[in-house]
């Protein structure tokens, strides 16, 4: 591992009023909070301590953790909430720093395997019939020409490949078909090259999904891809609990089994391994899978699975048949694995699916919540840890000397107690850096008082009236954010015909397309739900109003939320104050955070849920939000926009 040396020996010399950064950056603005955060990160890395930092919008938190990480001389993993932020760090922030450091910065990024092309699959596709239709053939040619020149194999480099390319899905480097060191292209493999680059770097930029996928398999034979590291920085750390729950849980779906069946059939066909017996086994696998997954709810959504004994009593034959045929498939693959490297990953997948199925149906581990989900034709059986705190305490915080958590939304009513308890973080230093904007003058928070409780049937119609009136004052230029798709659709249908401004609706186009249209369409209004509550940046007048329909409490009927509520209650806690309320406070901060992104932004935040002013718990929300100017009078909104 290399060690980066620089002329700036400490972060204070870097971030101070007349420090290194002031000489580098043409628009440098000294920020006390940025310096304070950088010094805390520097100390945490030096002292091998954990740190949690809420850094308000405008702090400059990216440089506040990147610079001390670089100066530490340690290998530090930086984990981001999204691939977009990951790429921003690598392609924007790191090059900016590199201009001013004497020695090359040893920095790389790593993504999940599906982001990289598999060279062996690509070469096989030239000789074997894996492509279907003109679109896949066209996409294949684009990928094949690009592969000849790329140094990373990262799909993000191909600007003219459609987002939903089915050809890419047949050519990517996912683990499901990887034969590892036995692959002819192993030395040239983009995953191998990615690992080699990472092994030579001090700063490795990943995303939360890759980090926890890696953490979950580091002890296995086909273990993690991230090299050993001394510290990790989580940016957008408020997402950790949910992401960790995914990767320390168990999941099996009809799509996984169908993909396995197709992959085995394709390899057998291409390599002349087919037989009447194998064909029959694969047919049985398809039949048994269809029969088994048909046993679960057929309507869209998530449902708890709590009657295990009754399910087994009634449907044990279908379950045993599917498990038995998976074991039979594995036996067939074992017989031929020594003659063909491509069979190894197929056998591994078959065994893993059988183990997941057995765990989900039979285990009944009380520390997990078991649930099903229907999405289109997919049926997903999930087992999620009810409480990830003990897992993270052992696998993360006790195993890594320095873990730094940062986000604009981690504190609830001025403390980190909620996040620390949910994540199992003990004895960490804490720092709250206020946002750098003049919220009292830049922002008005409006809570109308005449609307009914959002749970009342009359709320939708009256909320639509209020939204239409507000949009007339803001002249569009708004996000209208909802806690459910049903409410979003109902209000949109009522408002769209009554306003003169262009409207955009989530689910009518991909998220990135909707954002581009919003940015480029004057006075537009976007109606959306949870995926637009965070990670969206629209500075300037184009977004001058954010309207939220109600306080974003998690749906208590959701299987995971319900299990966590019951677990807290069983332990003698108060689920509302210990879990539901602080979670909603953080979510509301995220939604409101879309509005003010620079010192010149102005706008109105609207919360249509007046429980925040009428219920005692509303003070927790106010204590968690920045110091907005507040009103319950719509005339103040009109006056604000007329300035």
**pLDDT higher than 70, residue 81:** yes
Phi and psi of 419, rounded to 5°? -65, -40
Of 354, 385, 416, the position where a domain reaches its end is 385
**pLDDT higher than 70, residue 219:** no
Q: Is residue 263 part of a domain?
A: yes
**pLDDT higher than 70, residue 356:** yes
pLDDT band at 532 (very low <50, low <70, confident <90, very high): confident
pLDDT band at 337 (very low <50, low <70, confident <90, very high): low
Co-location of 614 and 486 in the same domain:
yes
Co-location of 457 and 598 in the same domain:
yes
Per-residue pLDDT, 5: 41
Residues 80 and 232 sit within 8 Å (Cβ to Cβ): no
What kind and span of H or E run contains 78?
Answer: strand 76-80
Co-location of 463 and 563 in the same domain:
yes
Co-location of 428 and 457 in the same domain:
no
Strands 368-375 and 301-304: antiparallel
Per-position DSSP letters for 450-487, written without gaps between them:
SSPPTTSTTHHHHHHHHHHHHHHHHTS-EEEE-S-HHH
Q: Is residue 130 part of a domain?
A: no
What kind and span of H or E run contains 55?
Answer: strand 51-55
Calpha distance 394→513 (Å, rounded): 41
CATH number assigned to the domain comprising residue 603: 3.40.50.300
Q: Is residue 459 part of a domain?
A: yes
Per-residue pLDDT, 596: 85
CATH number assigned to the domain comprising residue 332: 1.10.275.40
Q: pLDDT tens across 283-292, in order? A: 999 999 999 9
**pLDDT higher than 60, residue 380:** yes
Co-location of 381 and 394 in the same domain:
no
**pLDDT higher than 50, residue 1:** no
Calpha distance 362→382 (Å, rounded): 13
pLDDT band at 540 (very low <50, low <70, confident <90, very high): confident
Q: Is residue 409 part of a domain?
A: yes
How many structural domains comprise the chain? 3
Residues 516 and 537 sit within 8 Å (Cβ to Cβ): no
Q: Is residue 200 part of a domain?
A: no
Give me 366's structure tokens: 């009380």
Better-predicted residue by pLDDT, 217 or 445: 445
pTM reported for the whole predicted model: 0.89
* Host domain of residue 352: 250-385
- The answer to whether the Cα torsion of 132, 135, 141, 144 is positive or negative is negative
Residues 609 and 462 sit within 8 Å (Cβ to Cβ): no
Per-position DSSP letters for 190-229, written without gaps between them:
HHHHHHHHHHT-SEEEEEHHHHHHHHHHTTSTT--SSPP-
**Average pLDDT value over all residues in the chain:** 90
Closest CA to 388 of 427, 426, 425, 355: 425
**pLDDT higher than 90, residue 538:** no
**pLDDT higher than 90, residue 350:** yes
- Of 117-131, 134-148, 177-191, the range with the highest mean pLDDT is 134-148
Co-location of 262 and 376 in the same domain:
yes
**pLDDT higher than 70, residue 221:** no
Per-residue pLDDT, 126: 83
Per-residue pLDDT, 8: 44
Of 318, 350, 385, the position where a domain reaches its end is 385
Co-location of 632 and 515 in the same domain:
yes
Phi and psi of 250, rounded to 5°? -130, 140
Co-location of 560 and 457 in the same domain:
yes
Strand ranges, E, within 487-558: 503-505, 525-528, 545-548
**pLDDT higher than 90, residue 300:** no
Q: Angle 52-58-61 (CA atoms, 0-180°, nearest 5)?
A: 35
- The answer to whether the Cα torsion of 577, 580, 586, 587 is positive or negative is negative
Q: Is residue 39 part of a domain?
A: yes
Of 385, 402, 421, the position where a domain reaches its end is 385
**pLDDT higher than 70, residue 169:** yes
Co-location of 267 and 288 in the same domain:
yes
Calpha distance 386→558 (Å, rounded): 12
Per-residue pLDDT, 374: 93
Q: Is residue 176 part of a domain?
A: no
Q: Angle 171-177-182 (CA atoms, 0-180°, nearest 5)?
A: 110
Co-location of 527 and 506 in the same domain:
yes
Cα–chain center distance at 456 = 33
Helices 459-474 and 634-642 sit at what angle, rounded to 10 degrees?
20
Q: pLDDT tens across 556-605, in order? A: 889 999 999 999 999 999 999 999 999 999 999 998 888 888 888 899 99
The rounded percent of the chain whose pLDDT value lies above 90 is: 67
Q: Is residue 287 part of a domain?
A: yes
Co-location of 422 and 306 in the same domain:
no
Q: Rounded mean pLDDT of 78-97?
A: 90
Co-location of 419 and 532 in the same domain:
no
């Amino acid at each position: 591992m290399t060690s980066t040396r620089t002329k700036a020996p400490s972060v204070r010399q870097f971030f101070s009023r007349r420090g290194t950064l002031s000489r580098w950056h043409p628009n440098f603005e000294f920020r006390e909070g940025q310096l304070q955060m950088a010094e805390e990160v520097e100390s945490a890395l030096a002292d091998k301590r954990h740190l949690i930092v809420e850094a308000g919008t405008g702090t400059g938190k990216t440089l506040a953790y990147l610079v001390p990480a670089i100066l530490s001389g340690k290998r530090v993993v930086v984990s981001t909430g999204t691939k977009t932020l990951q790429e921003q760090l690598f392609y924007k922030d790191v090059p900016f720093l590199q201009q001013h450091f004497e020695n090359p910065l040893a920095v790389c990024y790593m993504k999940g395997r599906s982001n990289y092309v598999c060279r062996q699959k690509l070469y096989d596709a030239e000789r074997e019939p894996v492509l279907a239709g003109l679109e896949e053939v066209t996409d294949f040619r684009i990928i094949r020409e690009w592969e000849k020149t790329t140094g990373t194999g990262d799909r993000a480099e191909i600007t003219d490949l459609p987002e939903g390319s089915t050809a890419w899905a047949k050519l990517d480097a996912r683990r499901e078909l990887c034969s590892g060191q036995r692959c002819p292209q192993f030395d040239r493999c983009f995953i191998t090259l990615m690992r080699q680059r990472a092994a030579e770097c001090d700063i490795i930029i990943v995303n939360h999904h890759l980090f926890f996928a890696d953490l979950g398999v580091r002890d296995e034979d086909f273990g993690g891809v991230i090299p050993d590291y001394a510290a990790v920085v989580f940016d957008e750390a408020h997402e950790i609990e949910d992401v960790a729950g995914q990767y320390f849980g168990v999941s099996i779906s009809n799509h996984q089994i169908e993909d396995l069946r197709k992959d085995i059939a394709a390899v057998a066909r291409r390599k002349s391994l087919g037989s009447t017996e194998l064909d029959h086994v694969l047919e049985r696998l398809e039949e048994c899978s269809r029969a088994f997954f048909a046993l679960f709810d057929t309507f869209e959504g998530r449902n708890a699975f709590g009657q295990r004994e009754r399910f087994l009593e009634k449907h044990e034959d279908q379950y045993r048949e599917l498990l038995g045929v998976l074991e039979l498939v594995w036996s067939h693959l074992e017989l031929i694995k020594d003659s063909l490297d491509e069979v190894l990953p197929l056998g591994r997948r078959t065994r893993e699916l059988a183990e997941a199925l057995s765990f989900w149906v039979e285990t009944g581990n009380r520390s997990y919540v078991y649930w099903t989900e229907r999405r289109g034709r997919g049926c997903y059986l999930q087992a999620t840890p009810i409480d990830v705190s003990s897992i993270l305490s052992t696998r993360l915080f006790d195993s890594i000397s320095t873990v730094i958590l940062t986000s604009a939304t981690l504190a609830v009513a001025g403390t980190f107690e909620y996040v620390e308890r949910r994540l199992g973080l003990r004895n960490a230093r804490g720092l709250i850096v206020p946002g750098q904007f003049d919220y009292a003058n830049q922002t008005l928070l409006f809570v109308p008082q005449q609307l009914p409780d959002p749970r009342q049937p009359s709320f939708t119609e009256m909320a639509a009236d209020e939204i239409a009136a507000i949009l007339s004052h803001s002249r569009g230029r708004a996000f209208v954010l909802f806690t459910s798709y049903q409410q979003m659709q109902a209000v949109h249908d009522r408002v769209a015909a009554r306003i003169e401004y262009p409207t955009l609706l989530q689910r009518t186009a991909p998220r990135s397309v909707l954002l581009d249209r919003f940015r480029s369409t004057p006075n537009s209004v976007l109606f959306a739900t949870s995926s637009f509550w965070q990670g969206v940046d629209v500075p300037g007048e184009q977004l001058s109003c954010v309207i939220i329909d109600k306080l974003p409490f998690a749906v208590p009927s959701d299987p995971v939320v319900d299990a966590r509520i019951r677990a807290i209650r069983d332990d003698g806690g108060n689920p509302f104050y210990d879990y539901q309320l602080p979670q909603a406070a953080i979510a509301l901060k995220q939604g409101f955070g879309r509005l003010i992104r620079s010192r010149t932004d102005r706008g109105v935040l609207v919360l249509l849920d007046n429980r925040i002013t009428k219920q005692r718990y509303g003070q927790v929300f106010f204590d968690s939000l920045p110091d907005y100017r507040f009103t319950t009078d719509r005339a103040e909104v009109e006056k604000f926009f007329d300035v």
